[in-house]
Structure 1
Amino acid sequence: MIKIDRKKKGYFCLQVKGNQKTLKEDIEDYFADKEFRKKLKEEGMYSRKTEKQRGRLKTREYYYTEETEWLIKRNKEWKEVKGIGASILTTEENGKNQEQKRYYITNTAGGVEEFVRAVRGHWAIESYHWILDVTFREDANKTLNKNAARNLNILRKLAISILEELPFRKKFSRRIKR
């Protein structure tokens, strides 16, 4: 169950996963309607971005709506939700397409571009944590002292910045350069 600290009144954009099965199914069904998606495109609540990465063509489509009354009526626990969105990633490699769909809830109403920034920003942070774990095995660190753990984290991030600036950075992995 997702716990939201309502007292702090922070912003959230949360990916809805299997641990919220009913919520996920409801949102999946909502965005499955082609006419509804067409309507979102016409209203400007749609964004599409295509990029080429490592020989793959990646197309990201985003649908966003602030029509959440139906969701709040079904479950009062989500009364802070002001928008829901869908992210569809289509990867084309060697003539084969692979599609991944993700669904999100947010408590900010800011349109599709704000939704895209929130989703992409989340993955940038996840990617950075992945680099810390792969390069420095940060998740395996068992430092108990909070100050020491914080200092080691700062040093690792500084080291990543330095590793990225090395002139031979494209030839070797971060782990080897370390």
Structure 2
Amino acid sequence: AWASANNLLLAQEKVAGKSNEITAIPRLLRILELKNCIVTIDAMGCQREIAKTIIERGADYILALKGNQPEMLDRVSGSFTYIKPSSEHTMDGKAHGREETRACSVITNLDNIIDRDRWPGLKSIVRIESRTRDVKSGQIHKETRYYLSSLEADAQYINHSIRTHWSVENQLHWTLDVAFGDDASRKQKDNAAQNFSLLNRIGLNIIKNAKVSSMGVKGHRKKAGWDNDYLLYALKSFDVVKN
């Protein structure tokens, strides 16, 4: 569970060996204080039980919709062919040598969604049309994605929320892999993998929020390992930021 606004990992839940994320996500949601938050989850979490848990926790949701819900996907995508969106918004951006345009359309007329009452809190369906151009090669990539949401028709707000969702990849998963070597870890005995994973994430929270210098994550880790005074300063700085 990644809080994009706070740049913090809030919690994690181990997926059982013979299970999957669908059963782990509700357990994770129940240990969090979610009131007035927006929970964004990829297609694996697009489940009625998960939507119900989010609503019961006093939050709203934006759930990615893909082929794991084929009938719902057909009805949602079909709605955008003949129902006029209630709200629309386009945002442009440029980063990492790419120019991107993201057009968000939101529909609150759910007449085409025959089982809409089985999705707790469902108020809108969302379409994101993205167009990415590689500045160097000129190559253009287009993609259309769909979402279910408990939010009202505010395309600008929803567009921003969906874009922000991907900070979990850029600021958490990628950093853990590159700076902490998470994916290369071979720890398997007993609870070692889960324990070290948790310690790495606690360390990342401290580094990202202590704000003691402008060094990268690897530099912070190395300096903290070499200099106890710097380590204590970082811990105290994080505590001040947190409070």
TM-score by length of 1: 0.73
How far apart are residue 82 of structure 1 and its match?
Answer: 0.3
Match of 2:205 in 1: 157
Is 2:12 the partner of 1:12? no
Match of 2:177 among 112, 133, 148: 133
Taking the aligned partners of 1:23 and 1:16, their CA distance within structure 2 comes to 8
* Percent of aligned pairs sharing the same letter: 20
Task: Please give the residue correspondences for 1:1-178 in structure 2 after superposition, counting only pairs within 5 Å.
Answer: 2=47, 3-4=49-50, 5=53, 7-31=56-80, 33=81, 36=83, 39-40=84-85, 45-71=87-113, 73-93=114-134, 94-130=137-173, 131-138=175-182, 140=185, 144=191, 150-160=198-208, 165-166=214-215
How far apart are residue 8 of structure 1 and its match?
Answer: 3.0
Structure 2 unmatched ranges of 5 or more: 1-45, 222-243
Secondary structure in 2 matching 1:70: coil
Match of 2:35 in 1: none
Structure 1 unmatched ranges of 5 or more: none
TM-score by length of 2: 0.56
Flag the 1:105–1:115 CA change in 2: closer, same or farther, 3 A.
same
Flag the 1:25–1:137 CA change in 2: closer, same or farther, 3 A.
farther
Secondary structure in 1 matching 2:112: helix
CA deviations on 1:37-77 (whole Å, 9 max, x unpaired) are xx43xx6x111112222332211111112112331x34542
Flag the 1:144–1:163 CA change in 2: closer, same or farther, 3 A.
farther
Aligned length: 164
Flag the 1:85–1:95 CA change in 2: closer, same or farther, 3 A.
same
Contact 2:79 2:112 in 1 (8 A): no
| 2:140 maps to amino acid | N
